[in-house]
Chain A
Amino acid sequence: RSSSKSKRISGFDMAPPQPTMLPGVAAAVLHYLSLLRNGQLIFKVRLGQIIGTPPAIPGMFPNIF
C-alpha cells in the first residue's frame, strides 16, 4: 500500500467517552435543593426518576434554617 496515502487514525488507545457528570450525584443534589425551596412534605420532583413516597416523618428533614 502506498505510503503517501493519508493515514487513518488507529483505533488503538482510543479511550471510551468519559461521563461529564455522575447522574446519581446530580439527582441527589437536585432532590435536596427542591426540598430546601419548597419546604417540608412538598415533593416537587423534576427528575422523573425518583420513585417512592415522601417520608412520613417531617422531623427527618435536615433543619438548616
Chain B
Amino acid sequence: CSRLHTRPSISPTLLLSNMYQRPDMITPGVDPAGQPLDPRKIQQHFEDFYEDLFEELTKYGEIESLNICDNLADHMVGNVYVQFREEEHAAQALQNLSGRFYAGRPIIVDFSPVTDFREATCR
C-alpha cells in the first residue's frame, strides 16, 4: 500500500481518522498509568465509543455501515468508516463534524472512496 489514499470530493462514506483509541493502546492489556486493564473494561470502552458515534451520526441520515478499525500496527489505527445511504447526508455530517472535538482530540473527517467494505483492502 502506497498510503496515498484518494480523497473524493463527494462520497456516501466518511473517514474519521484515528478517532478510536483503545485504553491499552500503548501496551496491550495495560492502561497508560501502567495498571493492568480488565478486558471487560476495554470492551465497555469500545461499546461506549460505538454508542457515542452511532448517536451522533444518525442525526445526519440513515447509516448503511459503521466500521471501526482496531489495527495493532500503526497504519489506519482507530480509523472509523461510516457509510450513509445518501451522499448528501455524508456531506452534512462532514460539514457538521469538521472542527469539533471528541474526547479532547480534534475530529479529522474526510470523504472516503470505500463503498463496499467486503472489498475494502489496502493495496
Binding site for B on A (CB under 8 A): 8, 10-17
Contacts and interface: CB of A to CB of B under 8 A. Distances in A.
B104 A17 contact: yes
Interface of B: 48-49, 52, 55-56, 100-105
Contact of A10 (B56, B104, B105): B56
Contacts, number: 27
A14 B55 contact: no
Nearest to B52: A10
Contacts of A16: 101, 104-105
Given A12-B52, A14-B103, 19 more contacts: A8-B48, A10-B52, A11-B49, A11-B52, A11-B102, A11-B103, A12-B56, A12-B100, A12-B101, A12-B102, A13-B100, A13-B101, A13-B102, A14-B101, A14-B104, A15-B101, A15-B104, A16-B104, A16-B105
Nearest to B48: A8
